[in-house]
Structure 1
């Protein structure tokens, strides 16, 4: 310690000790006129003052400086509260406390005189504060002071206890001492900022260490602020207010994000019953996907229906028709979606699906063919369930055709659907008219797009209504091994 520093320390320490002697004398004189709480606070202030001589004799080591700052913080904290409580009824005691606070400020400034300044009130939304300090007097002081401002304060005497508290409660701000036995403040800070649920919790480090390296290390580790002991109570309130506001903003943003996720899940679950997952995703992730219009896409179109369903439905009760139809459509829907097809619509017992929009893939035609084979294979199980319930067995006809269509939103601003328009749609419909029960017909355009190997029948030429050219089709037999 330099001679100048020793001289400055001697000056403020002597002034501080003289002020404490004066305050003790006034307290003993007026003690009987004070309430129990004031007497208790004076007792803690004077108890902290008794440790001051040992701190001043401890030299200028890092540990001695930290101990001195803890003592000064305790004295200052209780002096602030007592002065507030005693004005104006005990003016002489309050004036002595003001002189004590000025002496502490001089000590905190390293021996340089500093004006106390006018106290400024800081109003803050009440928060849930966790104060972590291994010293009981420090924990009690912070809890007392912040509770007077309306905050709910819990304390922890160790790093381990602090982490247990965070696991059990939603804390708004953590006040963290650095020097603690066992798990120190740095480790607590690291664990808080690495934890997914805690990292947004503001952490204010309060320490007697005033080394720049400590400050930089804590800020880089995620600390939101760093205050020196003995801390200025008004400054602490301002920091806590800012921390609470940050936490509230984060909580509101997190709640908003969760609401958006719930809404999106609801939209997907609800509209997924009417649209394919890909169309719902396109709408949610690309707002312009709701605009009317479309683009030219090459797709493989699938049309299927139950052969003779109209005649069958006339012989059954409405409830039986609905049961049979839902069983068929439910099974077919699962198969089409499993093969990444887009179901455009249901028309009674008929299904219109497309492979290649809104997302195009290289194997659109192959997936459509494999899907048709799976649909025909699933009819055995559907019919077994129908027969078990006294319902008739049914057969489906499936048509596949590949061509260029306009894919997009069709309709009006008030009512629209994702659909497909183009000549290949009409061709597919005409092919489907020629399908026998249990048969799948694919057009030449689809056959030419296939990369896999499939067994097909001899080519058939269809002359279909409303279309001038003949259509070449093949009966799909199965996949080649």
Structure 2
């Protein structure tokens, strides 16, 4: 540094400390290039391209820093750049692109990760891009690059291929296989001119490939395109996440009023909201609390609501766990259907098992009621199987997924005859069952509005005698 300052003499005040330091780096790079050229047989083209890149880079930055203040130095630097261009063309067979008159729109500032095992290359790229407003971090190895990606959100990766231990190809592979990094643009910058290697990098997911010494204007253009791709991906990802949050909110909200299957049917099928229905064979369940009106007369409103919500909440969870569709709550009564909107082969059996689980849950619920000074509850449950119309019923302004048909009325009438803690099933449901249950107490019910009597049976689990 002392010799360099002495060489410039009185020009030091014009050059400034930063320019002198860049001259020093330029001379170091030139010395390295001279050594490599002197022993070209023992050095790879990649090493020579690295040295050329350093010479070119510092020469271009010095021309920008000095301007025309020191004309003699500017002329010398220009001749040097032309020599580098000629050397590059001779080494690669590719003419240098003239970017002097190219107008490049300023890029949106990005967060750039420059990966290269040579410190001078990292410093050069960082200085180039920092002057354009980018935030640049560097990594001297593949392992360090992966650690940086794990800790920060990078917009573009500039990746050298020739690195010890973990080379650029392995880094590229790991980036593109990682679910959170694969969308990050990777621009390979290498002195290698091997076409097969270039194709392999592109096929592995590299977004672009630049040769050393790189053209700074071309590099800026590539980075600009990469940042824009990353921004579009990030916005698209945010949009998808917002859609997912909205869908979860819709499912959670409407799931309080409709079954999960109905919500899914509405959200995933365009025709899900159309009015109309079709014929379905279903097993209908109707359940209510025996003597609830009388119980309510002796309780405060808040106690009634607490007791009712506890009952309906527990029963809802059980019905949904057996894939039942809750049609509606009618006071303390629950109307549910098994077999629509999705039909399953075991609809009747699931309805019976669900009813048995509901009755089985009453003991724990009543224990909690009694502990809070509330009365014990007893429920009756009726099951009936038949063909109904299932679909969207109502008007364009207000509709519901519901069920219409004679079997619905029959189920309601059967439920009227249920005693506390009793499950009654119709003969049509019994014929559909495949499981092993205890069926007893056959009854013929005369139901108002129905000419023929309805045969029902009391059903319990086989071991629950």
1:415 to 376, 393, 398: 398
Q: Per the alignment, in what secondary structure is the counterpart of residue 257 of structure 2?
A: coil
**What are the equivalent positions in structure 2 for 1:29-40 lying under 5 Å apart?**
30-40=11-21
Deviation at 1:26, TM superposition (A): 10
Q: CA deviation at 1:100?
A: 2.0
Using a 3 Å threshold, how does the CA distance of structure 1 residues 190 and 115 change in structure 2: closer, same or farther?
Answer: closer
Q: What is the CA distance between 1:108 and its match in structure 2?
A: 1.3
Q: Which is worse superposed, 351-360 or 191-200?
A: 191-200
Aligned residue pairs total 457
Secondary structure of the structure 1 residue equivalent to 2:40:
coil
Q: Alpha-carbon deviation of 1:120? A: 2.5
Q: 379-388 or 328-337: which moved more? A: 379-388
> What's the CA shift for 1:234?
0.7
Q: Which of 236, 261, 284 is the aligned partner of 2:267?
A: 284
2:56 maps to 1:73: no
1:194-214 alpha-carbon deviations (Å, 9 max, x no partner): 212111111111111111122
Quote the RMSD (CA, aligned, Å). Answer: 2.1
1:54-105 Cα shifts (integer Å, max 9, x gaps): 12122256x4311110111011111222222222333443333223222212
How many Å apart are 1:27 and its aligned residue? 6.3
- Is structure 2 residue 247 aligned with structure 1 residue 264? yes
Partner of 1:118: 100
Secondary structure of 2:251's partner?
helix
Q: Are 1:360 and 2:343 counterparts?
A: yes
Q: Which runs of 5+ in 1 are unaligned?
A: 1-23
Which deviations, in whole Å up to 9, do the C-alpha atoms of 1:168-200 show, x marking residues without a partner? 111111111111122211121111112121111
- 1:77-116 map, 5 Å: 77-110=57-90, 116=98
Secondary structure, in 3 states, of the residue corresponding to 1:139?
helix
1:442 maps to what in 2? 425
1:349 paired with 2:332, answer yes
- Please say if 1:46 is aligned against 2:27: yes
Task: State the 1:30 CA deviation.
Answer: 4.0
| 42-51 vs 114-123, which moves further | 114-123
Task: State whether structure 2 residue 187 is matched by structure 1 residue 204.
Answer: yes
1:294-443 to structure 2, matched below 5 A, reads 294-443=277-426
1:28 Cα shift?
A: 6.8
Question: Secondary structure of the equivalent of 2:361?
Answer: helix
Q: Residue 185 of structure 1 aligns with which residue?
A: 168
3-state SS of 2:288 partner: strand
Pairing partner for 1:236 from 193, 214, 219: 219
1:5-47 Cα deviation digits (max 9, x unpaired): xxxxxxxxxxxxxxxxxxx999678444212222221221122
The answer to whether the Cα contact below 8 Å between 1:128 and 1:153 also exists between their aligned partners in 2 is yes
- Give the Cα separation in 1 of the matches to 2:224 and 2:7: 36
Q: Which moved more, 1:145-154 or 1:457-466?
A: 457-466
Helix, strand or coil at the partner of 1:257 = helix
Q: CA deviation at 1:273?
A: 1.7
CA contact (8 A) 1:342 1:355 kept: yes
Structure 1 position 64 matched with structure 2 position 25: no
User: How far apart are the structure 2 equivalents of 1:334 and 1:35?
Assistant: 78
Partner Cα separation in structure 1 for residue 99 and residue 232 of structure 2 = 32
Cα 1:35/1:176, change in 2 over 3 Å: same
Q: Answer with 82-91 or 384-393: which moved more.
A: 82-91
Moved more, 76-85 or 349-358: 76-85
When normalised by structure 2's length, the TM-score is 0.93
